Amino acid sequence: MARIGFIGLGRMGLPMARNAAKAGHAVRAYDITTAYHQAATEAGIVPCNRVDDAIADCEFAITMVPTGRQVHEVYLGDEGVLAKLPAGALVIDSSTINISEARALHDAGRTRGLAVLDAPVSGGVMGAEAGTLTFMVGGDAADLERARPVLEGMGHRIFHAGAAGSGQIAKICNNMMAACGMIVTAEAFALAKRFGMPAETLREIVSVSTGSCFSMTNYPPVPGLLPNVPSSREYTNGFAAALMLKDLRLAEQAGLDAGLPLPLGQAAAALFGMFCSAGHGQLDYSAIIKMLEGN
């Protein structure tokens, strides 16, 4: 059993913390809002009004906040969590953030003698609730082994992606591919429909042909093809288009930093930017099909 200080109890963080508590760990939690307090208490988590109370005496500090800005707010500076963690505590940041911001956090930890892992996740809110997330971990392999029992309470697949920042590299590449795959799948469904082909027919054929991809087989943007996907529940309770846009912008930034053109990634960012500007940012990202179909 480990002592965990969990920071950021939103759509992902609350179910992750809940599963960590269910796995037998002692979880103390902090968020800038108190909306999670009742649900946390019911799950055996101790909600704290100050971040210092959540991390006092912890062996693992876990963050699940929106962006690198909040990650740095939480950890850095004289009043930040890095300055206050007990010696030997391991930092696990599971937020999806910029690669260079993740590396800066590793560096800041190192200067204080604290180990850091960047450990973004895939699997969405459903995976967080079911405890079946995939963790992509950057940092020291030995530190990952130390964290593994904690991560196993929240996820099924835990990959060591490489050195500091590598978890974010894998995550950003994955989401850029997922976005591009979704857009082209939606275009294919829209095109086939214009020529009178039912979506079922296209899916059946393409799923076993060279165009097959996750969006076609497991996450179709057309409602009614699969029961348990966001498109079949009005595009709710999935991975918000606004978050996909955020991740595409992280990919764009990474491409700029690396001097590498990412033409499809940038096109996907532009399309999701238009979709979110039209007020659909809270819909699941598969809802982009509405815009591509002209609806």
By CB under 6 A, residue 83 contacts ligand NAD? no
Radius of gyration for the alpha carbons in the chain, expressed in angstroms and rounded:
20
Strands 115-118 and 60-63: unpaired
Name which of 10 and 223 has its Cβ closer to ligand NAD: 10
By CB under 6 A, residue 119 contacts ligand NAD? no
By CB under 6 A, name the one of 95, 166, 168, 231 that touches ligand NAD.
95
By CB under 6 A, residue 12 contacts ligand NAD? yes
Q: Which of 195, 283, 294 is nearest to 241 (CA)?
A: 283
Question: Could you tell me the smallest distance in angstroms from the CB atom of residue 198 to ligand NAD?
Answer: 30
Q: Which of 122, 118, 126 is nearest to 94 (CA)?
A: 118
Question: Could you tell me the smallest distance in angstroms from the CB atom of residue 203 to ligand NAD?
Answer: 24
Tokens of 73: 């707010």
Q: Which of 220, 186, 228 is nearest to 204 (CA)?
A: 220
Are 184 and 150 within 8 A, CB to CB? no
By CB under 6 A, residue 121 contacts ligand NAD? yes
Are 219 and 198 within 8 A, CB to CB? no
CA torsion sign for 3, 5, 9, 13 is negative
CA angle 51, 54, 60 (to 5 degrees): 115
Q: Build a one-symbol-per-residue string for 153-172: x at contacts with ligand NAD by CB under 6 A, - elsewhere.
A: --------------------
Name which of 10 and 273 has its Cβ closer to ligand NAD: 10
By CB under 6 A, residue 8 contacts ligand NAD? yes
Are 61 and 114 within 8 A, CB to CB? no
CA angle 181, 182, 185 (to 5 degrees): 85
Q: Build a one-symbol-per-residue string for 235-264: x at contacts with ligand NAD by CB under 6 A, - elsewhere.
A: ----x---x---------------------
**DSSP three-state, residue 239:** coil
Question: Could you tell me the smallest distance in angstroms from the CB atom of residue 20 to ligand NAD?
Answer: 15
Tokens of 62: 């876990």
Name which of 189 and 239 has its Cβ closer to ligand NAD: 239
Task: Let me know if 171 is a catalytic residue.
Answer: yes
Name which of 30 and 219 has its Cβ closer to ligand NAD: 30
By CB under 6 A, name the one of 2, 4, 9, 89 that touches ligand NAD.
9
State the greatest distance between any 2 C-alpha atoms of the chain, in Å, as a whole number. 65
By CB under 6 A, residue 96 contacts ligand NAD? yes
Question: Could you tell me the smallest distance in angstroms from the CB atom of residue 206 to ligand NAD?
Answer: 26
Question: Could you tell me the smallest distance in angstroms from the CB atom of residue 111 to ligand NAD?
Answer: 21
Catalytically active residues, by annotation: 171
Site residues for ligand NAD per CB under 6 A? 7-13, 30-33, 64-66, 70, 73-74, 95-96, 121, 124-125, 239, 243
